[in-house]
C-alpha cells in the first residue's frame, strides 16, 4: 500500500502484514477531521481489495497515547451543522473499520480515551501495554459515545460493567481491561509491538480465505440464534472446499512442510 496520508502512517511488513499507526503524537494522536478522512480512505482501500492484505496491526505513534479521542481543540466553536457533518464522517469510518474482512489486531500503547477507546474496540482483539489506560469520557463533556462504544463495550465486558464505565466516564487500567475480557494480553511497554507483531504474523501466515471466512462467521454468527449461526458457519466453510489453499494445506501436512498459501 503506497498511498501517503497526513495523519496516519502505513508500514508494509511484507507477505500481507501491515502496521497502521495513528500519527499525530503532538496531540496524543487525537482524531481530527483529516484523520477521519485518512482512516476511511485506508479501510475503503483494504475492503475493496482484501486479497492484498492478510493482517493489520493498529497502534499509535509514541509511547504516551494510542488515541486521546476526538480533537477537542478543532471542535471548539464548531456549529451544530459542522459537528454533525464531522460525526457523519466518523460514523462512516467506524462502519468501514468494523466491516473490514481482514483481521485487525490492536496494540494499545498508551491512553485510549473516548473515541480512541472506541477505535480500539473495533479491533478483532487487543494486546495492551501494562501502562495503557482506557476510558469513555463522553458523558463528562455533554455528549455520549457515538462511534459504537455503547454497543461494542457491552459485547466485550458485559452490560453491567459497560454501564458503569460509560455512565461514570471513569478511566480504568489495562489490568482492569484484561480482567474484564476486553484485552487479550498484557505486555511490557517495550515488548508490546513485538508480541503483537508475532501474533499478527502468525495470522498472516495462515490461509487468508480461511481467516477471513472464520472472522466473518464469528462476527455475524454471534448476532443470530444458534441454529441459524450453525447454518451460516457451513456456508462460510463450503467457500473453502474448492480452493487451492485447502488442497495446499492438506498436501503440506502430508509432505511435512510449511504450506504456501496464495489466497485462492
- Verify whether residue 118 is a known catalytic residue: yes
Q: Are 128 and 174 in contact (CB under 8 A)?
A: yes
Q: Phi and psi dihedrals of 113, rounded to 5?
A: -110, 145
What's the CA angle centered on 39, arms 38 and 45, to 5 degrees? 90
Out of 118, 164, 235, 248, pick the active-site residue: 118
Out of 138, 195, 233, 255, pick the active-site residue: 138
For residue 22, give the DSSP letter.
E
Residue (of 201, 71, 181) closest to 128 by Cα position: 181
Q: Are 139 and 203 in contact (CB under 8 A)?
A: no
d(CA 87, CA 147): 9
Residue with cell 504516551: 64
What's the CA angle centered on 131, arms 113 and 65, to 5 degrees? 40
Strands (E), the chain: 8-12, 17-22, 55-60, 65-67, 104-108, 111-113, 125-129, 133-135, 172-173, 185-187
Show the DSSP H helices in 99-225 as ranges.
Answer: 115-122, 149-157, 159-168, 174-179, 192-205, 208-221
Q: Which residues are catalytic?
A: 118, 138
Amino acid at each position: 500500500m503506497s498511498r501517503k496520508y497526513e495523519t496516519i502512517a502505513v508500514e508494509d511488513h511484507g507477505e500481507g502484514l501491515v502496521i497502521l499507526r495513528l500519527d499525530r503524537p503532538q496531540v496524543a494522536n487525537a482524531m481530527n477531521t483529516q484523520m477521519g478522512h485518512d482512516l476511511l480512505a485506508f479501510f475503503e482501500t483494504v475492503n475493496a481489495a482484501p486479497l492484498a492484505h492478510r493482517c493489520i496491526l493498529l497502534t499509535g505513534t509514541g509511547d504516551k497515547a494510542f488515541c486521546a479521542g476526538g480533537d477537542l481543540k478543532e471542535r471548539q466553536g464548531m456549529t451544530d451543522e459542522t459537528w454533525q457533518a464531522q460525526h457523519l464522517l466518523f460514523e462512516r469510518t467506524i462502519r468501514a473499520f468494523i466491516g473490514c474482512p481482514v483481521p485487525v489486531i490492536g496494540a494499545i500503547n498508551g491512553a485510549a480515551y473516548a473515541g480512541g477507546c472506541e477505535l480500539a474496540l473495533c479491533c478483532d482483539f487487543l494486546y495492551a501495554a501494562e501502562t495503557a489506560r482506557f476510558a469513555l469520557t463522553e458523558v463528562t463533556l455533554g455528549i455520549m459515545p457515538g462511534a459504537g462504544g455503547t454497543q461494542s463495550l457491552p459485547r466485550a465486558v458485559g452490560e453491567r460493567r459497560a454501564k458503569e464505565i460509560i455512565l461514570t466516564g471513569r478511566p480504568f487500567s489495562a489490568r482492569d481491561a484484561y480482567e474484564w475480557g476486553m484485552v487479550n494480553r498484557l505486555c511490557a511497554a517495550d515488548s508490546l509491538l513485538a508480541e503483537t507483531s508475532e501474533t499478527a504474523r502468525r495470522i498472516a501466515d495462515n490461509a487468508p480465505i480461511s481467516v477471513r471466512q472464520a472472522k466473518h462467521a464469528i462476527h455475524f454468527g454471534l448476532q443470530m440464534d444458534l441454529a441459524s449461526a450453525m447454518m451460516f458457519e457451513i456456508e462460510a466453510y463450503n467457500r473453502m472446499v474448492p480452493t487451492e489453499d485447502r488442497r495446499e494445506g492438506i498436501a503440506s501436512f502430508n509432505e511435512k512442510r510449511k504450506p504456501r498459501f496464495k489466497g485462492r
